[in-house]
Each structure stands twice: as structure tokens, then as C-alpha cells.
Copies of this chain bind each other. A is one copy, B any other.
Amino acid sequence: MTYCVGLMLKHGMVFMSDTRTNAGVDNISTFRKMFSWDVPGDRSITIMTAGNLATTQAVISLLEERVKAAQDRNPSILQAESMFQVAVLVGDTLKEVIADHAEAGQKADSGFNATILVGGQIKGGDHRLFMIYPEGNFIEASADTPFFQIGETKYGRPILVRAFDAEMSFDDAVKLLLVSFDSTIKANLGVDLPLDVRVYKADSLSCDHEFRIEANDPYYAAISDGWGGALREAFGRLPDFDLTKFSD
């Protein structure tokens, strides 16, 4: 399993992904699911992946190869002229890889599907965030739906729905994501630290902050320990229920 979230803020974007992969509970590993391409002054692109690891690694490798081989005639993520074109490129690559694996004969139990979040900005355009489906098509975040989640999305969704604000600071956005990730990590063994984080400030055309939150991070521990108490306090401040008023 996996959990990745991309938040679209007025003044930029924040990305967070976990690093746990598993094929059964007795076969777990740590793999990076966040990838980036930065050309300062020209573009900053972040990709996060969920789904079949062979598929997502193949997609990233193909995107990387095309970046490196200058003579390669394929369109490159570094040459695309807009974030829309980047999304088309990633979608096409994803669709190709899945089709390739699927026709290889033997069927896997869980399929070769994957879902990808792509966000960033290219000079001359706005910062944009896309969610790309296994079929290669995609949707874009908007003011109405300002964040996307992929992987194990349900446990961490209520707090995002209630507390997200497109004008919140980057600090608050990272904190919000940590609460959402903590709820998910507590409930699903397939999602775990370390967490990769990237913060992109609109129009900077460079990565502003990129770091990893390790399993023993003291701030994460403070959030994780504090949230239970904070929730119970919040619960206590809601109006009390009175059974005697409802009984028949």
C-alpha cells in the first residue's frame, strides 16, 4: 500500500509521500515514491506514484532515460512546454508500461495498475497539479478540489476535508499532512515512515524545500502523540448528548 497527497495552495504546492511497499505483510520494503525534476528558472516538477511497484519504477525509469539521452527523439519531461504536456507525457508512458506488462502473458493477481500525481510549474505557466489514471487520462486540481490523494486515501481524508485551507502557510500545510499521514499509518500496516516532503513556492521555478521525515523524528512523534489528546479534547468540547431526551 501507499499514501501520497498533493496539496494545491494559492501560493504553491506541498507534496508528501510514504515509503512503505509491501507484497503481503511478510514482504515489506522501503522505496521512494516521490521523484522530481528541477531546472532552476525554468521548471520544477514533482511526481508521486501509487500502485504496482514494477509499473511505477518502469514509468520513472522511462521518464529518466528520456531526460538523459539528449539524442532520444521521444518527448522529454524537461522539454515539455507546459504542465499539461508533462501530464500527457506521464499518462502516455504509464499507459504504455501497463499495456506492455499486461500483454506479457501470465496475469498477476493484483494487476499492473498504478496512479500518479504530477505537480509543478513551467516558466510561462501557472503551478498545476494532476492526477493520472492507469488508462493514461487525468484530472486537474481546482479551487473546488484543491488536493489529490492516492493509495490508502480514506483514513486520512476527514482531517484534510475539515482543516484544509488554500491560503494556509506552508508550515501549516506540512503539519496538516503529518496529521493525515499519522491517522493512516496508525490504521494501515502498508503505510509507514520515512515520509518524503517537497514544498514548491509558486513562481519560484525551483524546489524550495525538500526533506525526509525519518521514523524517529521528534516533531512527528509530538504530532502523533499530541493528536490523540487534541482529538479527545475537541470531542469533549462538542455539546453533550443526553440519552434521556431520545428514549422512547
A167-203 contacts to B, CB under 8 A, are: 170-172, 174-176, 178-179, 183, 186-187, 197, 199
CA distance A235 to B168 in the complex (A): 13
A104 interfacial by beta-carbon distance below 8 Å: no
Contact B227–A239 (Cβ < 8 Å): no
Residue on B with the closest CB to A248? B211
A243 interfacial by beta-carbon distance below 8 Å: yes
Residue on B with the closest CB to A159? B231
The minimal Cβ–Cβ distance linking A204 to chain B, given in whole angstroms, is 13
Residue on B with the closest CB to A154? B154
Q: A211-B248, A246-B209 are in contact. Are A158 and B186 (CB under 8 A)?
A: yes
Q: Mark A216-248, 1 if CB is under 8 A from B, else 0.
A: 000100110011101111110111111100111
Copies in the assembly, this chain: 2
The minimal Cβ–Cβ distance linking A107 to chain B, given in whole angstroms, is 19
The minimal Cβ–Cβ distance linking A167 to chain B, given in whole angstroms, is 14
Contact A157–B159 (Cβ < 8 Å): no
A210 interfacial by beta-carbon distance below 8 Å: yes
* Contact among B187, B211, B240 for A158, CB-based, below 8 A: B187
Contact A241–B163 (Cβ < 8 Å): no
Contact B239–A230 (Cβ < 8 Å): no
Interface size class of A (residues with CB under 8 A): 35 or more
The minimal Cβ–Cβ distance linking A158 to chain B, given in whole angstroms, is 4
The minimal Cβ–Cβ distance linking A133 to chain B, given in whole angstroms, is 19
Contact A179–B232 (Cβ < 8 Å): no
* Contact among B155, B187, B237 for A230, CB-based, below 8 A: B237
A25 interfacial by beta-carbon distance below 8 Å: no
Query: B residues within 8 A CB of A226?
Result: 237-239
Query: B residues within 8 A CB of A154?
Result: 154-155, 187
A73 interfacial by beta-carbon distance below 8 Å: no
Residue on B with the closest CB to A238? B226
* Contact among B174, B208, B210 for A241, CB-based, below 8 A: B174
CA distance A224 to B159 in the complex (A): 13
Query: B residues within 8 A CB of A209?
Result: 243, 246-248
